[in-house]
Structure 1
Amino acid sequence: MASVKLTINNQAHTIDVDPDMPLLWAIRDVVGLTGTKFGCGIAQCGACTVHLDGAPIRSCSYPVSAAAGHKITTIEGIAKNADHPVQKAWIEHQVPQCGYCQSGQIMSAVALLKSNPKPTDADIDAAMQGNICRCGTYQRIRQAIHTASADMAAAPKMPKSTPKLGKR
C-alpha cells in the first residue's frame, strides 16, 4: 500500500492503495464517484474514460500512481447540474438507450470539442473511435456533438482577463 495524492474534480484526495491499482477503482471504490463505468477492463470500450490534464484516458488500465500530481476530471466534474453543452445535447437528441457507455462517450466528446470546436463528421468518428455503444446510438452521438459545437460557438465568450481599475 502507498499513500497517493490525487486531484479529482478540483478536490484533493489522499488515498492508501496499491500503486498499481487502476485509476478507475480508486475513483469508484475509494473516492466514491460512480459515474465512471467499468466496461471491459482492457481499455478497449471507452466506458471508463476520464480526463487527465484535459486529455481523455481509459482509467481501467491507468495505474493510480501515474495519475498522482495530475488533474483528473470525471463525468461528475465537467459541469454542475449536468448543464455542460454536451450533456444538454445528449438529452436533446435522446442519445442514451441503456446509458452504460454514455459517461465515457460524453467525456470523449467534451475533450474533442475542447481541442476542435468545429469538428467534421470524420473528426467526430476519429475522436470517438474506441468508445463502444452496444445500443448503436452513433448517429445520435454525432448529431449531439454537432449541436453542442454550435451551442458552444454561440455562447457569449468571457474575457480572458478583467481590466485593472486604477486608483481613485
Structure 2
Amino acid sequence: MTKMKVMSMLILVGLVASCSVSKSARQQRNLLSGTWELNDVSYENNDGAFKSVIFGDAQDICFEGSNWFFRDNNSTGRYTIKNGSLCQGGDRFIRWSVIEPADRLSQLQFKFIDEKRKDVSGGRGYRLDIANLNEQTMTLKSNVSVDGQPVTIVYEFTRK
C-alpha cells in the first residue's frame, strides 16, 4: 500500500472511532427505545409551590400523562400532550441522543424537529440527567434556577 492509502485508512478509522458511541450509552439508548408515559413532574431542592413552562412548550401539568416515543435506529421520536383547557395537545417531534459528560450522569439530549426531520429549534436543545433507567421505569432530572435559587425538575416515567 502506498503512504497515501495508509494515511487515508488511518483518517477513516479515526473518524469512525470519534463518532462511535460508548457501550454504556448504547445500552441506555436500547433501554430508552420504545414508548414511555410521563406520570409525574415534581420539584426538588427548594421549598414552595412551583408552576413552570417546560421545554418552552407547555405548563408542567400538561406533561403529566404525556406519551414519549424514542426510536433508537434513527434517533428520532416524539412526545404527545393531551388536549385540555390549559394544554395545546398534539405531537412534538424530536431528535435525541444519550451523551456521557465526564463530570456528571449520562444525559438524554433532544431538540425539536418537524415531521420531515428538519431542525425547528435553531439548534437549541435540552439536556436531562438520567437519574434512573431500567426496563420499566425512568427518572430524568433537570436543574433550573428560580429567582436565583437552584431547583431540580424531576420527570418520572413508566414503560408502556
Q: TM-score range by the shorter chain?
A: under 0.3
Which structure carries more strand by proportion? 2
User: What's the TM-score once normalised by structure 2's chain length?
Assistant: 0.24
User: What's the TM-score once normalised by structure 1's chain length?
Assistant: 0.23
